[in-house]
Amino acid sequence: MPWSAGILLAALLLPVPSGGVEPPRRRSPGRPGSDAPTIVDVGMWPTILYNLDVGANSFYLAAYVWFVWNGNLEHDPSETVEFTNNVESWGLTRRKTYPQPILLPDGRHYQCLRIEGRFFHAFSLSRFPLEKHRLVLSIEDNTYPSTELVYRFDREQSGLDPGLEIPGWEIYDWRAQVSERALGSNLGDTTIGTNLLSFSRVDFEIDVERPAKFFYWKMLLPASIVMLATWMGLLLHPEEQAARAAMVGTALLSAVFLQQSYTASLPETNRLVLMDRIYVVVYALLVVSLLHVVFQGARTRRGANHHATVRTDRISVACQAIAYLGSVWWLIRTAP
């Protein structure tokens, strides 16, 4: 037939590629079809925060973490998310809100995780017991580098649950930071050549601090009572040498035990914390008091004037009290 002959002639005249028919380009599961990375909106809502252990540099957190993104259902970021500062992978629970991501009215997909686990963050104790800490929940995608998947934080819907509290601590602020973390290695994956991997990252940070009353009533007050007992001993009659020396010696031992009581709960550090510096002042003044008792006892045995000895004791007590209060104020103001 004429039309059949025309079709055959057209097929013969069309150029045929030298490599034959090109197969479809293969893509990794969930990889976007274009060169632009998939933008994933990430939000966080912590609900429970407990067991903050400054000695172990860890805390337990329960939170909702959700993901909203454009793309096909195979590219589900809730499947490949990694909580990078989790220290007990066996104890991390992850429960999905929906069996499969749902489609939102605006055409994007949504999935939410309810997580709970133990997380690590190095705490600085230089201002103990007036320290402030930043609790961080860090997430990354463990499969897709930043060239394929980029996180964007959902600040409008994220925040802290109104009932969130930590016994013994005060929560005063939160923030989130989005960044990229370069691994410095391709992790042996030769399919990407020698290129170094970089992953999108979100750090959700909660700022907490100890109440000031913990420092004043449980730490500073006992040390101040020790110093007060020492000064009362210096105000005893100069001839009561044994009682004066016993009170200063007892105060020195009490200071040692008080310091050991709080250092037992702290990790080993290579620097003095704020409370250690205060006890250095306490020990220095106790040594001065002990030397004062010995010196005044020697004067009394030599028959020194009683009124002059009492006046010297009072001057010593006044100078020590001023030195103690001034040193504590200065240490608190200048603590790093």
pLDDT tens profile 255-271: 999 999 988 878 877 78
Q: How many residues does the chain have?
A: 336
Alpha carbon distance 308, 238 (integer Å) = 11
- Give the pLDDT band of residue 192 (cuts 50, 70, 90): low
- Residue 106 maps to which CATH number? 2.70.170.10
More confident residue, 7 or 64: 64
In the prediction, which pLDDT does 216 show?
A: 93
- Residue 249 maps to which CATH number? 1.20.58.390
pLDDT tens profile 144-156: 888 888 999 999 9
Alpha carbon distance 78, 87 (integer Å) = 19
Phi-psi region of 168 (alpha: psi -120 to 50; beta: other; left: phi over 0): left
Last residue of a domain, one of 186, 210, 234: 210
Amino acid at 247: M
Name the nearest CA neighbour of 238 among 311, 178, 186.
311
pLDDT tens profile 282-336: 999 999 999 999 888 888 888 777 788 889 999 999 999 999 999 999 999 998 8
Per the structure, the count of domains in the chain is: 2
- Give the pLDDT band of residue 9 (cuts 50, 70, 90): very low
Amino acid at 57: N
Establish if 74 belongs to a structural domain: yes
**Domain span holding position 297:** 213-334
More confident residue, 121 or 19: 121
Last residue of a domain, one of 210, 230, 245: 210
pTM for the whole thing? Answer: 0.77
Alpha carbon distance 123, 117 (integer Å) = 18
Amino acid at 212: A
pLDDT tens profile 58-114: 999 999 999 999 876 567 899 999 999 999 888 999 999 999 999 999 989 999 999
